[in-house]
Structure 1
Amino acid sequence: MSSLGTTTAPVAPEPLVEPERPGLLTIVKRVSLSLLIACLVPAGLFCSVTVLAGVWPAILAALAWSYGAIAWRAVTGRRTSGLLILTAIVLTGRTVVALLADSTFLYFLQPIISDGVVAAAFLLSLATARPLVARLAGDFYPMDHELHLRPGIQRLFWRLTLLWAMLCLAKAGATLWMLLALDVQTFVLVRDASLQTVNVLAVAATIALAVRVARKEGLLHCATGPAPAV
C-alpha cells in the first residue's frame, strides 16, 4: 500500500560557476615561456654553435633542441604548445632539404619562403570564421565556443592575424636582402639579433592589444576576489 501525503522535495539545480580566468601576469608567463622554448633558445643555440663549430652543427643542434623539448614535455606530462610543434616541423623540413641538397644557402633561403607561405596562410585565413591567431590562442588563454563568438574577440583575432601576416612579409623581404648581401656568419648574427628584436616587439604589441580587449570583455582575472557565480 502506498503512503499518502508523502512528497519529494525538489532538487535545487547546482549553480553554474564561471570558469576561472587567468590574470595578466599568468598570460605573460605563458607567452614568454612558449616563445623562450620554441623560438629564442633554438635561435640563440644556432647562433652560438655557428660561431663555435660552423653552420651544419648549428643546424643539427637547433633541431635536436626542438625535439628534445617536445620529448621532455611529453615525459613530464606537460602540454606541448602548437608553436613548439610548428617550429619543430619547420626546422625538420629545412634540415632535410639542406642535407639532401648539401647547401646551407638553401637552409637559410627556406625561412624566407616559409615566411611568405605563412603570410599567405594568415591572409587567406582572414576569409574564414577562425583566423590563424584564433587557432593558436588556446595555447595562452583558455578559450571556449562562447569566447570565440564574441564580436570583440573576433575583431581582435582578425587584426592580430593581419598584423602577423604583414610582419612575416616584412621579415621575408629583410632576410632575403641580408642573405644576398652578407657572408654566412655575419648574416646569422645580424639576422638573429634583428629578427628576434622585431619578434619581441611584435609579441609586446600583440599582448597590449589583447589586454585592451580582454579588459573590455571582462576576461582578465580580478585580483580583489574570486570570479562570481552565474
Structure 2
Amino acid sequence: MALLDLAATADVRLSPAPVGQGRSSARHAPSRAAQPDPGQPSLAGVLRRLGTNLLVACVVPAVVFYSLFVAFGIWPAILSALAWSYGATAYRALTRRRASGLLLLTAAVLSVRTVIALLSHSTFVYFIQPVLTDALIGTAFLLSVFTARPVVARLAGDFYPLTDEQRARPALQRLFRRLTLLWALALLAKAAAMFALLQTQPLGTFLLAKSISIPLTNATCIVVTVLAATATARREGLLPRRTAILPAWALRTSRATS
C-alpha cells in the first residue's frame, strides 16, 4: 500500500507566493508567458508525478508478470498482473482518490489480453496480443488527433494540474496534437515491426528483438515528450525559465555559504 500511497502523495510542490511587492514592481512585472504563476508546480514535481504514475501503471505490472512467469508459469503471471492493476484501481477508489488515466488504460488493456489468453492456448495468439494492442491504441491515438481533445490532452492532467483556460491555449493544443501523433506513429510502427518479426523469425529471436526495441522506442518517446512539454510549459509560464531558476539557486547557495 505504501507504493500506492506514493501515487496519491506525489503532488507537485507549489512555489511560494511573492511577498511585499509594491505597485511599482507590479507595473514592471513580466507577462504571464514570461513568469510562471506562483501556484504552479515545479519541473521536479511534474517529473516525480510522471515517474510515480508510470511506476504504478506500467513498471510494477511488468515486473509482477515476468517474475511470476519465471517462477510459476504463464497463467499465474497473466492473472497476477491483471490483479495488480485492478487492485491499484480499487485502492484508489476506496480511498476516494482519482485513478490516473494511465492506470485505467493499463487495466483495460490487460483485461482484453487476459480474456483472449483464457480463450486460446496458442503461443502465437498469446504473443500477437501486444501487437494487436499497440495497433488498436495507436489507431485510437491517431484518430483522436482530429478531435477537439486528443488522447495526450486527456492524460496530461495525470502529470500536471491544468485549468480549462490553460488547456485551451493554442500552444498547448498544438503540443497535445503533436505528441499524440508522435505516440500514434510509434505504436503503429512497433505493431508492424513486431508482427513482421513474429511471422518470419524464431521465437527466441523475436523475444530478443522485442526486449531491446520496445524499451528503446518507449524511452525515446518519453524523452521527446518530456523535452517538448517542458519547453512549451516554460514558454507559456507554466514552469520557471532557466534564467529564473539559476538566480534563485545562486541566491540560496550564497546564503548557505555566508
TM-score by length of 1: 0.81
CA drift at 1:68: 1.8
Q: Which runs of 5+ in 1 are unaligned?
A: 1-17, 225-230
Deviates more, 1:154-163 or 1:64-73: 64-73
Say whether residues 1:196 and 2:215 are aligned partners.
Answer: yes
In structure 1, distance between residues paired with 2:109 and 2:45: 28
Superposition pairs of residues 1-230 of structure 1, within 5 angstroms: 20-180=39-199, 181-183=201-203, 187-188=206-207, 191-220=210-239
Instruction: Give the AA of the match of 1:208.
Output: L
Give how far 1:182 is off.
3.5
Note closer, same or farther for the CA distance 1:81–1:104 as it changes in structure 2 (3 Å cut): farther
Cα distance in 2 for residues equivalent to 1:147 and 1:30: 19
Supply the distance in 2 between the matched residues of 1:60 and 1:119 (Cα, whole angstroms).
25
What code does the residue aligned with 1:119 have?
Answer: G
Cα deviation per residue 1:129-161 (whole Å; 9 max; x = unaligned)? 211111111111112221121111011011101
Q: Which runs of 5+ in 2 are unaligned?
A: 1-36, 249-258
Residue 140 to residue 160, structure 1, CA distance change in 2 (3 Å): same
**Contact 1:115–1:168 (Cα < 8 Å) also in 2:** yes
Deviation at 1:194, TM superposition (A): 3.5
- Partners of 2:151 and 2:93 in 1: how far apart? 25
Counterpart in the other structure of 1:227:
none
- Runs ≥4 in structure 1, deviation > 6 angstroms? none
- Per-residue deviation, 1:118: 1.4
Shift in Å at residue 56 of structure 1? 1.8
Preserved CA contact (<8 Å) 1:171 1:195: yes
Secondary structure of 2:126's partner?
A: helix
| Cα offsets for 1:6-50 (capped at 9, x unmatched) | xxxxxxxxxxxx672111011101111111111111112222222
| Identity across the alignment (%) | 53
Aligned residues: 206
RCO greater where, 1 or 2, for CA within 8 Å and sep 6 or more? Answer: 1
